[in-house]
Structure 1
Amino acid sequence: MEFLQPVLLWGIGAVSIPIVIHFWHQKKGRTLAWAATRWLQEKDQPPQRGVKLEDLLLLVIRCLLHVLLAVLLSQPVVNWFAKPSVVPKVHLVQPEKRVIDNFRFELEEAIKKSEAIYWINASTALAKTPNELPEEQVFNSTQLQSSINKLAADRSELQLYLMNNQQLADLPFIRIPASYKLHTFIDSVNKPKKNYLKLTSGQNVFINPTNQLVNRPVLEPINQFQTTPAHVGAITVLVNYQNKTEEKTVLAAIQALSEVYSLNLSVDTQTNSTRNYDWILTDQEVNKPLATTLYIVSGKLKIPTTSNVIYTEERLSPKTAEMVGSGQLPEWLGAMLIWHFKLNLEVLPLSQDELKALFVTVPLSDRKQPESFRTWMLLAFIGLVGMERWVALTKNT
């Protein structure tokens, strides 16, 4: 037997209360004057020694009531006759050939045991065989969280197969059931190709081997780039603040960033419904963020639900933000732009401590408890209450 609230078992000590009251009640007898007593002869009786128990049945019932109440409040769980439940394993795999090749043995063993294998994508598709990758192979941490949420409803043990890199940390944390196992590997052979931006002037913006953002007409042959740029054309920016002082500060930082790196930025200060913005800087709440837009919201202390919405607690003005007063705002905005378009020179793996901090375990709904045992205990408690009242009234106690 297990107890969900074992600390309440200390309430069993309250069984001493009816015992003390019982003996105290016996000592509080009083003499009643009755006229016929004068005709009775007084008889010497030997004094009684020791403790005389009266109404023993009533005392036992009251003690049982205290014990039963304490056990009920501690929420007992009885699984004497229940068979141990078998927790099924569900395998969640990143749709990447290198992941499949690295964990082929584990996945083949799962297939032999008829365990379910799912791809981590928008549809969380069931994998018939790991050798055939799905058509939808786009992977990010948001899709990982969505796939976990879809499968966490079943009481199963999740087995995650992922490539360990900073792409996992796009979200501040990933909620996962308490029963899970993480399988990750670091690809030190095949380095990912870098992203770059192609502006309207024909210039290419990328990170060079010295980890600097540069603007060149031709991509450097020493680097391996993606076949298509991450963005083509001018970067459309919306700077819309209710605080006009903050708006002027941000506009100045955007202009400095554009001049230093020769970026082709098209900036609006009023929303144009005909344009799709790549970058929005504002102090107003974002209700329905677009997945392809980078949002920087100042003056809001919130935990982001999507990776492309960045909240800054401080307002971006010289009096409220230290990085504005020190002149670091353009540099910080440039870092946000690099991060959004994934222009980083190298995708570094996460450490074990970072992985543990990233995956936050949350309990599922409480396991099903055998309520029949508690029901019988409750009925017994009600029956004892009725019996105690009947015995007490019968004996006029």
Structure 2
Amino acid sequence: MHFLYPIGLLALAGLIIPLIIHLWNVKQGKTVKIGSIALLGESSRASSKSFKINDWLLLVLRCLLLVLLAFLLAQPYLKKIISGKNKTGWILVDKAMLLQVFKTHNKTIDSLIKQGYEIHDFNIGFAKLTVKDTAANKIKPANTVSYTSLLSESSHHIPAGATVYLFADHRLNRFGNELPTLNYKLNWIPLNQTDTLSSWIAGYAGKKYEAKSNPSNTTYQALNSADESPIDITIHEASGITDGKYLIAALKAIGSFTNRKIIINPPTGKADIGFWLSDDAVTASFKSSIAPNGALFQYEKGKVITVPSFINLDGRHIKLSKRIASTSQAEKIWTDGFGNAILTNDKANALHIFHFYSRFNPQWNELVWDGLFVKALMPIVIRAEESTEFGFEDNPADQRRLSVQQKEVTEITKTEATNTTQNESLGITFWIAALLIFTTERILSFRKKPNYVKS
């Protein structure tokens, strides 16, 4: 037996409560009058007390009840072994697509079923299906859960080492940032799809873009870009710090992607954004060089913490080696793996201030080496008050597909294993046992007669 939250076992300390109650069962001595010394009156009264357990069964039941409650807090479970020798394999297909898949791959599916393969819904729960289900799901929409999540979860349901045939498309927007490692052999059979072109209008930072997508790529073309004013950015870099080169490269990439003119360190006028890349406090003159309602991105100083972690950005984990300790209550935009602030945002003196508790330096993190660096800076450089996403949102009309070179990566297998495990919760069993013990304890308590002493 294992526990999901072992800290819940600390509740076992409560066992001392029924023990104290039973030990504090004070038995008062009875008064005995002896005729020969009756004239002594009240002086002949004597009493005694004893501390002992009078009802061991009640004590044991009450202690067991507390033990069960502590176990329930710790959430016990058993690791159930699923053998890979009992089943030949699985056929995975989205229930909504079963009719279409059966029409185009009926010979393959019939052959696999004759070999003992089972059909399962490629969706949460992986419910078992039959060929008869093809007639009942003609208009049901397909699931929208990412293939990455479903494949990761499937390893907890499919016996290790089994052979699986998956009928699904290769649409890129159905995959996450990282492909999972599977404990079974996966044969991915892509659905027949014609090369499709699609287009839509995407909005970001008050600007409209026309998106055109095909199986190879998606491109964005800015609309009415001639009306856009340039973005003036000033950068202060302290002596001995070379982080500015990474920032400038990212700013140029943003300008190229958005077709916005970005001027770095303009000779005159106030800047729209100021980047303070220094351990020193931001000077008043630098703040005054930024236009009202502009943005200030500043390095924070403080205690350096070198605990290995990661920066959580847009669902990705960027390696983090060092950070600055933060006690700020400002809104967190970027966090590390422990929920600590890496980038926060607040507004003071007509400036939107971004507090950065790390550095644009590979010795601090690997952000500058990741393509996500440009996307993460975009909402700071091209600010949108109502935007909550980094860059463009995923669109259902995106036609991009997984590259052919990635096929082997999706079929990583570990066929050496013959068994896999699945966690089986014991919560219901413990609740039933606790109810039975509680009922028994109450019955015994009410049936116990008080011991009266007659004098």
TM-score bracket for this pair, using the shorter chain length: 0.3 to 0.5
Highest CA radius of gyration, 1 or 2?
1
Higher relative contact order (CA 8 A, sep 6+): 2
Q: TM-score scaled by structure 2?
A: 0.36
Q: TM-score scaled by structure 1?
A: 0.40
